[in-house]
Chain A
Amino acid sequence: MSKKMKGAERTAEAEPAESGERQGVLSSVWHSIFRGPLFPHSDRDRKWIVVQNFLLHFRPVRLPERSLRYTHTWGLGGMSLVLVLLLVATGVLMMFVYQPSPEDAYGSILAMRDEVLFGKLVRNVHHWSANFLVIVALLHLLRVYFTGAFHAPRQFNWIIGLSLLLCVLASNFTGYLLPWDQLSYWAITISTGMIGYVPLAGEWLQGVARGGSDIGSATLITFYTLHTTVVPVLIVVLMAFHFWRVRKARGVVVPRGPDEEPEQHPERVLALPNLLLRELAVALVLVAFVLLFSVVFNAPLGDEANPGMSPNPAKAPWYFMGIQELLLHFHPFFAAVLIPLLIAGALLAIPYLRYDSDASGVLLLSHRGRRMAAIAALTAVVVTPLLIVLDEFWLDAGTWLPGMPAVVSNGLLPTVVLAAALAGFYVALKRRYAASNNEAIQASFVLLLTALAVLTATGVWLRGSGMALVWPWLS
């Protein structure tokens, strides 16, 4: 493979030089930019283009044919990239109109919506792309996990991917404040309020996040800077790192059946056209979908922020509603700090755990793995709502255990009980199915993830006025 590539490079150097002397100025300028054929006529041209093109050299020249199957990756990584590009394109446009001060912010959004040509569409595209990006990035994480694409040599790329996910959430979160409407003001008030429960440094950290004791102009300029400079730069740098690592791992993980050994020399095909045209097709369909969605659905914009009146209910952005739901059940330190940190730690640890087997490329490990994952998902779907309802109407550890501080009765105690339940679930399932630890860990992963999804859905649809449980289908 590497020999072939060198060959391609050598011909590339040779080609333009041959005819250089007979060219005119324009033609030589053209050839200085595009140093080879623009449209390939042979396989040699196709290799040449991928190797020499600045953007395409992130892609492999050849790749295993089996990894091309759309249902192996679902194109989710590429979709994330396309959404980031849409976000940059629309975000830069909005920066020319938006004014980051509490007095002018809301007005400039109104002006953008009502007076600027296609301003509403640009804002809609930005809003929906940002929301889709959270979803697509999460699905991408699931795809990578369930195809075992976190085993060596992809261990560290899992970490880079998690950092990117964190950046995406940070980007969404900092962008949430900028319209300066009731929705953004109170969501950020609540979210930065959570920071105050970090032990020791909480008040200081909260002061830094808000740029003072309250949400105000200092908060807005801090969030604006993070949103338009710091986080985007981080995302671009990490994305390049992420892609480069995929390239160095010789492309995405090659799919294989549960009983198949990884192929040493899989059949390879050229990236151009096989991979690149598929990627282009996914990108075009996605852009069309986002545009269409943005034409039909407007990005929400509430009344201008009013620090004197919290709306009822005041909810966090949807991707934080899992944490918000936890806040209703746990002491804030556990709900907003410890449990998220534990989950983040568990996600970071995934590629570095000791596994019984290297299952990279095997979807859901095995028949037994699938079965156990389904049981885990089902358990979470049944148990999580049960616990929510139980805690809402009946459980009251604070009153039952008088004299115990709320941190223990409402934080440490339930956290330990739930952690013990998870450990019990892991051991019981592993014994019952005589499973490998790959399968048991996957089941635990599915359990936690489904629980988080149920918590988020509860926060989004079943919480009404005063954060009481409501049943929307009854009203």
Chain B
Amino acid sequence: MTGSRRGFVWKIWLGLGGVALAEYVWIAADFLRPRTRTRGTDGAIVVAGSIERFEPGSVTAFPAGKFYLVRLEDGGFIALYRECTHLGCTVPWIDDEGRFVCPCHASAYDIRGNVLNPPAPRALDLFPVRIENGIVKVDTRRAVKRQAFEAAQVTYA
């Protein structure tokens, strides 16, 4: 076969078939590609309210924005994305115990989002917090991943 004209033409046909298949796979991949929802800045920036509304050491749920606004004891703010970093269950704040406990696999987080109990591999994700004229605003367009709590993550008035 090698070297013969017929063999060469066969290989070209096979190659073209391969190209056609690759094209289909490529197109299929784009059909399956997740489309980022183009959320306007209106819904994406959640206006949480004025600073005084939040007691130091308090956790306030914002169900529409899918986050908890936390005011730490020292008065700083962080916004915690409510999805467990283990497998994505919604983590409720247990007020009596003063921690977040995942109902799915019993991961637990402290008020800063640090892991208290595995299997969660890292601290709860953050949404960036801005404070403008005493009003707390949370940018929910993109969750920021982190390993653990650091002082630089806190926003102060």
> Are A310 and B90 interface neighbours, CB within 8 A?
yes
| Interface status of A208 (Cβ within 8 A of chain B) | yes
Interface string of B56-91 (1 = CB under 8 A from A): 000000010010000000000000001000111111
| Interface status of B33 (Cβ within 8 A of chain A) | yes
Count residues of chain A with CB under 8 A from any CB of chain B.
Answer: 34
Chain B contact residues, majority secondary structure: loop
> Are A466 and B101 interface neighbours, CB within 8 A?
yes
| Interface status of B53 (Cβ within 8 A of chain A) | no
Which residue of chain A is the closest to B91 with respect to CB atoms?
Answer: A310
In the bound complex, CA of A398 to CA of B119 (Å):
11
> Are A310 and B102 interface neighbours, CB within 8 A?
yes
Interface string of A202-213 (1 = CB under 8 A from B): 000001101111
Distance of A292 from chain B, by nearest CB (Å): 35
In the bound complex, CA of A207 to CA of B32 (Å):
9
Distance of A431 from chain B, by nearest CB (Å): 38
Interface string of A327-363 (1 = CB under 8 A from B): 1100110000000000000000000000000000000
Which residue of chain B is the closest to A405 with respect to CB atoms?
Answer: B121
Which residues of the other chain, B, contact A313 by a CB distance below 8 angstroms? 103-104
In the bound complex, CA of A307 to CA of B33 (Å):
23
> Are A212 and B86 interface neighbours, CB within 8 A?
no
In the bound complex, CA of A210 to CA of B102 (Å):
21
Q: State the total of A-B contacts with C-beta under 8 angstroms.
A: 80
| Interface status of B106 (Cβ within 8 A of chain A) | yes
Which residue of chain A is the closest to B101 with respect to CB atoms?
Answer: A466
Interface string of A307-318 (1 = CB under 8 A from B): 111111110000
In the bound complex, CA of A406 to CA of B85 (Å):
15
Distance of A268 from chain B, by nearest CB (Å): 43
Which residues of the other chain, B, contact A422 by a CB distance below 8 angstroms? none
Among candidates B35, B36, B63, residue contacting A308 with C-beta atoms closer than 8 Å: B63
In the bound complex, CA of A328 to CA of B91 (Å):
17
Distance of A303 from chain B, by nearest CB (Å): 15
Interface core residue of B34, B35, B86 (most chain A CB under 10 Å): B34
Which residue of chain A is the closest to B36 with respect to CB atoms?
Answer: A212
Contacts from B to A (Cβ < 8 Å): 32-37, 63, 66, 82, 86-92, 101-106, 118-119, 121
26 contacts between A and B (CB under 8 A): A186-B104, A189-B87, A189-B88, A190-B87, A192-B88, A193-B87, A193-B88, A193-B89, A207-B34, A218-B35, A307-B66, A308-B63, A308-B66, A310-B92, A310-B102, A310-B103, A312-B103, A313-B104, A314-B89, A314-B103, A331-B121, A332-B86, A406-B121, A410-B118, A465-B103, A466-B103
